Amino acid sequence: MTTAHHHPIVPAEVSQTLGARLHGWAVTVDHKRLGILYVCFGLVFFVIGGIEAAMMRAQLAQAAGKIVDPATFNQLFTMHGTTMVFLVGMPVLLGMANYLIPLMVGARDMAFPRLNAFGLWLFLFGAALLYYSYIGAQGLYGTSAAPDVGWFAYAPLTNKTFSPGNSTDYWILGIMVSGFGSITTAINLLVTILVMRCPGMTLMRLPLMAWMMIVVSVLVIIAIPVLTGAQIMLLLDRSLGMHFFDTQNGGSSVLWQHLFWFFGHPEVYILVLPAFGFFSEIIPVFSRKVIFGYPLMVAATVSIGFISLSVWAHHMFAIGMSPALNSFFAASTLLIAVPTGIKIFNWMGTMVGGRIIFATPMLFATAFLGIFTFGGLTGVMLALVPVTWQLSDSYFVVGHFHYVLFGGTVFGIFSAFFYWFPKATGRMLCERLGTWFFWLLFAGFNLTFFPMHISGILGMPRRIYMYQPDRGLELWNMLSSLGVVLQGVAVALFIWNVIRSLRKGKIAGNDPWDAWTLEWATTSPPPEWNFDQVPTVGSARPLWDIKNPTDPDSNHEGSI
């Protein structure tokens, strides 16, 4: 064994000048720094996207609201959706994976560190391009500045005829460029997991999060290029006068929908599977039990990956597909509920018989189980084509996917943030503030999104800047808007917690949660080279094996 190592909690760079430190962050190829940058930029956009949402809810708090004009409102929901999917979900999740995966598989860094840095800056450039539209896209005829075609940008609304000016071009280019960043990151993650695993780490000893990231990376590699291809076509239409989606010249708006949703539905799993990965690490540690049914979890993840590529047209049940196609996509959509259900049951099976510690990460994980079950069940309802003929493009759908994406992805992100913050910074987040944050967010979340299901059933379509009074919608919309206030307070508390804990948080030590995966075997924060020696593992829980030498997991491998 080499000499003892003391990695200072406060990095040596503190003594450097501000310029040198910024330069250090700008040219870094360290996966941990890049991961932190991803998460920070993602959270900035989370706040921006949240402000956009709050403005929409202010407008909709009352019938025939007059806070913003229709053009602005249409920009708000376009930018909110685009921001939350591409500039919050993707970078934060991929950024966390970027930080954690090399540590979890016992690697020195990602497989392609420079490509990794390139991916981050591509994402940031794409994001900047999208938001630059607010000032740069003032087109002819006094048309809108920011994109206002919805995050799905259905043709032919995106055609030059109906969307003059440059706003839609900014949408195309911003998303395309950040998409290139996502593809490079996915390639990097996949190669890292497959190639850079430490000795002893067979595929069935990978942390479950690594398994989820394998599937996510494959989905990114398959799905994002399809969006890129469709966006290239749209760009050719708009700038060179081609006719891919030009319905006035025989082009098809249905083709755009097929291409967009062939990307769009796997995208939902790209956004939720990493969160599943976080929970698969967090729930066992706080239940003090090994994950229930590791092989089945892997199988369920892989089958979600496969099935998710064949469900895209359930976003298109109202476009008048043939009964045969409608039935096929209903069946595949119902089928995907099975592996998703298996995961929920396995997590609950992990909790049963455990000694559950309800620290903030576990609060979010538990709430996720309840909320995601609800969102999953409304998803089952929406798989039934005739029910979707009524409810598609209504607020019911808005409620549904926020239960899935907020309750799944965002709760996953916050859970992971509380869980791995000590590893990344060396300090704990304040548990008391964290508990307040959780309960406020939980209450605000339900208050905002549950009433949306009812608004939808009462006939309120999505993407309307005002609704008619006396249709029974006022109460539900007011409740939704009030919920935003709670969520806003919660997020403010969270930011305060982060700022305060960075300076005054309790020193974490290497392994504050008494956890079992490799990232907890190194210092907090880890040195630039991650591990002093290349670790070797004998099971999926190497640190459990060390802490319980009499009953190592390797004794149980293959027993189920």
Site for other proteins in 83-102 (CB under 8 A): none
Q: Which is nearer to other proteins, 487 or 498 (CB)?
A: 487
Instruction: Count Cα neighbours of 132 within 13 Å in the Cβ-side half-sphere.
Output: 14
Question: Within 10 Å of residue 535's Cβ, how many Cβ atoms?
Answer: 18
DSSP, res 511 = -
> Can you tell me which residue has the tokens 């002819």?
140
Count of residues that interact with other proteins, criterion CB under 8 A: 162
Enter the DSSP assignment of 461: B
Return the closest-CA partner of residue 161 out of 48, 253, 47, 282: 253
Residues 6+ apart with CB under 8 A from 332: 307, 310, 311, 314
Q: Supply the minimum distance, in Å, between the C-beta of residue 159 and other proteins.
A: 8
| Residue whose CB is less far from other proteins, 46 or 329 | 329
Residue span binding other proteins (CB under 8 A) among the ranges 20-28, 117-125, 132-140, 239-247: 239-247
Q: Where are the beta strands (DSSP E) in 95-172?
A: none
How far is the C-alpha of 389 from the C-alpha of 276, rounded, in Å? 30
Residues 138-167 that bind other proteins (CB under 8 A): 148, 150, 154, 156-157, 161-162
The CA distance from 36 to 354, in Å, is: 32
Tell which one of 44, 121, 204, 468 touches other proteins (CB under 8 A). Answer: 468
Per CB under 8 A, the list member of 50, 119, 207, 251 interacting with other proteins is: 251
Answer for which of 472, 492, 506, 529 binds other proteins (CB under 8 A) is 472
- Kindly state whether residue 79 participates in binding other proteins, applying the rule CB under 8 A: no
Q: Is 384 in the site for other proteins (CB under 8 A)?
A: yes
**Cα Rg of the chain, angstroms:** 23
Contact segment (CB under 8 A) with other proteins among 18-26, 416-424, 488-496, 538-546 equals 538-546
d(CA 516, CA 544): 5
Tell me the C-alpha distance between 272 and 339, whole Å: 14
Q: Which of 108, 341, 482, 489 binds other proteins (CB under 8 A)?
A: 341
For residues 560 and 293, give the distance between their C-alpha atoms in angstroms, rounded to a whole number.
8
Q: Which listed range, 11-19, 39-47, 85-93, 196-204, lies at the site for other proteins (CB under 8 A)?
A: 196-204
Is there a contact between 526 and 426 (Cβ–Cβ < 8 Å)? no
Considering only residues 9 to 68 of the shown chain, the ones binding other proteins according to CB under 8 A are none
Using CB under 8 A, pick the residue from 71, 302, 482, 485 that binds other proteins: 71
Q: Is 252 helix (H, G, I), strand (E, B) or coil?
A: coil
- Cβ neighbours, 10 Å, residue 521: 20
Dihedral Cα 89, 540, 294, 105, nearest 10 deg: 30
The 3-state DSSP class for residue 337 equals helix
Q: Is 348 in the site for other proteins (CB under 8 A)?
A: yes
Distance CA 242, CA 271 (A): 33
Q: Which of 20, 128, 502, 546 touches other proteins by CB under 8 A?
A: 546
Interface pick for other proteins out of 28, 74, 178, 481 (rule CB under 8 A): 74
Q: How far is the CB of 92 from other proteins (least distance, A)?
A: 22
Among 128, 239, 288, 507, binds other proteins (CB under 8 A): 288
Q: Which residues in 415-444 contact other proteins (CB under 8 A)?
A: 443
**Binding-site string for other proteins from residue 475 to residue 514, where x marks contact by CB under 8 A and - marks none:** x----------------------------------xx---
**Min CB(21)–other proteins separation in Å:** 27
Q: Check binding of 366 to other proteins (CB under 8 A).
A: yes
Contacts of 355 (CB under 8 A, 6+ apart): 287, 288
Question: Which residues on neighbouring strands pair with residue 427, listed in sequence order?
Answer: 507
Cβ 149 to other proteins, closest distance in Å? 8
Q: From 9-17, 87-95, 402-410, 464-472, give the range in contact with other proteins by CB under 8 A.
A: 464-472
Minimal distance, residue 223 CB to other proteins, in Å: 8
26, 204, 338, 492: residue in contact with other proteins (rule CB under 8 A): 338
Is 550 near other proteins (CB under 8 A)? no
Q: Which of 47, 179, 79, 189 is nearest to 125 (CA)?
A: 179
| Distance in Å, CB of 258 to other proteins, minimum | 8
Return the amino acid letter for 31: H
Phi and psi torsions of 427, nearest 5°: -125, 150
- How far is residue 46 CA from its own chain's centroid? 11
Q: Which of 25, 58, 112, 132 binds other proteins (CB under 8 A)?
A: 112
- The answer to whether 204 contacts other proteins (rule: CB under 8 A) is no
* By the rule CB under 8 A, 522 interacts with other proteins: yes
